Amino acid sequence: MKKTIHITLILTLALVGCSGTDEAAPLEASGVIEANEVVIAPELSGRILDITADEGDAVTAGDILFSVEGTLLEAERDAANATLGLARATQASAQAGLDAANAQYALILDAALAADRISRTTDWRIPAPGRFEQPAWYFSQSEELAAAQVEVDAAVAALSTAQEDFEGVAANLDNAKFLEMEIILAQSRATYNVAHDVYSRSQSSHDDMDEVINAAEDAYTAARDALHDRQDEYDEMLSTQAAKDVLKARAEVTVAQERYNMALDQLRALQTGAFSPSVVAAAANVQQAEAALGQAQKAIEQVEAQIQLLETQMEKLVTRAPIDGVVLTRSIEVGEVIQAGLAVMNIAPLDELTVTVYIPEDRYGQVNLGDSAILTVDSFPEESFEATVIRIADQAEYTPRNVQTKEERQTTVYAVKLSVCNKDGKLKPGMPTDLIFGE
């Protein structure tokens, strides 16, 4: 941050140009030499590691002034570099996975297309339409697949409706007895099937075990008789309205289920070539591998950005001179812990200095921008220096408070700022000076 600091401002008006004076006399004024100082402050907090510039030293823009310890940032950078290595290894693995997925996809697609070649050429050999007005080749495979998928969705909806209707029929109390009879009949059939299998196995045994055969035959006979009884009871109930409702609902569920199964069969039959499930699955694997590679690349970019941030911060551990100049003040020592933004040095270019003086209102018109003035200082009484007017105040003000008489305090004055060439470096900020305009 650059600002103009007035080291000392004790300005005295030459008692020339006041009312009753000779306006033809040279305009004289007094002021104090000033310099445009730059305040130096570290951008990062830390312990001072080294100081390479002291008060009075001349520095060039870019010269190192001091440095702050950065072991913590170095450790963070090393950790980030290790993370970067891991991220790059992950990227390489993801790239290999993508290459493998692409190769697998190509193999599966080639095989599917080769297998689909026969069905594709068969469509062209069909001379005339069959059950439909359009020939077999009329609709594309994607169009047929879309239509088949619509039928599958419709079949699913129809099956769901049929199942809901059956559940509604089953919830009817009037149908509960028939449904119970169906369950009993199903259980009797299961018992009969088991008893029949056991009896058949006992007959094929080579061992002379009449007791086993007799026992199996008895169980079989009992299961058969029970099944006949349950079947007779069931048949007697078939004439009831409950039976008709249940059988109709079951039939609708069965038809809807078969419609769904056949719609799936038709859809699967059309899923050949590039549309085959194996090709679709391979394509999904490729997309997944691409996503994994993208994530790995993003991880690398994130770590690289973190490293760049750390390196930028580490660069700020070293504070450099922003301009050519001389170190005026230094308020730090090696080993001190300083806070970021705290002013620790002041640098000013001493080859271009300024001085501000005040002239009476009645002499305001005698000074113009670019006018020259002769400047003298007590330290070099035999020498004079050239000053040039670079700014004239637009508004008047009262004489500064440090003047000595009431009459002077009531005088209205204008501030005039001049630049002073100081290539030899003899003039210093804070030196009192006298100026004579128009010489």
* pLDDT (mean) for 277-301: 92
Check whether residue 425 and residue 335 sit in a common domain.
yes
Output the average pLDDT for the chain.
84
Last residue of a domain, one of 274, 308, 342: 274
Is 117 among the domain residues?
A: no
pLDDT of residue 367 exceeding 80, the answer is yes
The rounded distance, in Å, linking the Cα atoms of 316 and 339 is 13
Check whether residue 254 and residue 184 sit in a common domain.
yes
pLDDT of residue 1: 41
Range in 5-9, 115-119, 344-348, 406-410 with the lowest mean pLDDT: 5-9
Is 355 among the domain residues?
A: yes
Last residue of a domain, one of 234, 251, 274: 274
**Confidence grade of residue 280 (pLDDT, cut at 50, 70, 90):** confident
* pLDDT (mean) for 48-55: 93
**Confidence grade of residue 22 (pLDDT, cut at 50, 70, 90):** low
Is 96 among the domain residues?
A: no
SS3 at position 434: strand
Q: Which two tokens stand for residue 254?
A: 């069965």
pLDDT of residue 335: 93
Is 351 among the domain residues?
A: yes
Check whether residue 65 and residue 188 sit in a common domain.
no
Last residue of a domain, one of 254, 274, 294: 274
pLDDT of residue 21 exceeding 80, the answer is no
Check whether residue 268 and residue 330 sit in a common domain.
no
pLDDT of residue 13: 35
* pLDDT (mean) for 354-370: 90
pLDDT of residue 435: 93
**Confidence grade of residue 129 (pLDDT, cut at 50, 70, 90):** low
Count other C-beta atoms under 10 Å from residue 262's C-beta.
13
Is 118 among the domain residues?
A: no
Contact criterion met (CB below 8 Å) for 33 and 430: yes
pLDDT of residue 170: 87
Range in 90-99, 139-148, 195-204 with the lowest mean pLDDT: 139-148
Q: Which two tokens stand for residue 223?
A: 């299961």
Tens-digit pLDDT profile for residues 256-278 = 998 888 888 888 777 777 777 88
Check whether residue 152 and residue 266 sit in a common domain.
yes
Contact criterion met (CB below 8 Å) for 253 and 161: no
Contact criterion met (CB below 8 Å) for 417 and 391: yes
pLDDT of residue 301 exceeding 70, the answer is yes
pLDDT of residue 424: 82
pLDDT of residue 18: 36
Check whether residue 379 and residue 259 sit in a common domain.
no
337-338 and 318-320 beta bridge pairing: unpaired
Model pTM greater than 0.85? Answer: no
Helices first, then strands: H and E counts in the chain: 7, 15
pLDDT of residue 340: 92
Is 259 among the domain residues?
A: yes
The rounded distance, in Å, linking the Cα atoms of 108 and 280 is 10
Residue-wise DSSP of 261-319: HHHHHHHHHH--GGGSHHHHHHHHHHHHHHHHHHHHHHHHHHHHHHHHHHHHHHHTTEE
Check whether residue 61 and residue 145 sit in a common domain.
no
* pLDDT (mean) for 198-215: 78
DSSP 8-state secondary structure symbol assigned to residue 27:
P
Check whether residue 260 and residue 338 sit in a common domain.
no
* pLDDT (mean) for 360-366: 86
Is 431 among the domain residues?
A: yes
**Confidence grade of residue 112 (pLDDT, cut at 50, 70, 90):** confident
**Confidence grade of residue 111 (pLDDT, cut at 50, 70, 90):** confident
pLDDT of residue 408: 57
The rounded distance, in Å, linking the Cα atoms of 129 and 411 is 116
Check whether residue 263 and residue 148 sit in a common domain.
yes
**Confidence grade of residue 3 (pLDDT, cut at 50, 70, 90):** very low
Q: Residue 263 maps to which CATH number?
A: 1.10.287
Determine the structural domain holding residue 394 and report its residue range: 2-69+324-437
**Confidence grade of residue 318 (pLDDT, cut at 50, 70, 90):** very high
pLDDT of residue 38 exceeding 90, the answer is yes
Range in 10-24, 342-356, 399-413 with the lowest mean pLDDT: 10-24
Contact criterion met (CB below 8 Å) for 29 and 357: yes
Residues above pLDDT 70, as percent of the chain: 85
Q: Residue 403 maps to which CATH number?
A: 2.40.30.170
pLDDT of residue 104 exceeding 80, the answer is yes
SS3 at position 165: helix
pLDDT of residue 8 exceeding 60, the answer is no
Check whether residue 335 and residue 264 sit in a common domain.
no
Check whether residue 264 and residue 332 sit in a common domain.
no
Q: Which residues pair with 434 in a beta bridge?
A: 30, 376
**Confidence grade of residue 399 (pLDDT, cut at 50, 70, 90):** low
The rounded distance, in Å, linking the Cα atoms of 378 and 433 is 7
Is 243 among the domain residues?
A: yes
Question: Which comes out higher in pLDDT, residue 119 or 199?
Answer: 199
Domain count of the chain?
Answer: 2
Check whether residue 334 and residue 269 sit in a common domain.
no
Cβ neighbors of 410 (< 8 A, separation 6 or more) are 398, 399
Residues above pLDDT 90, as percent of the chain: 53
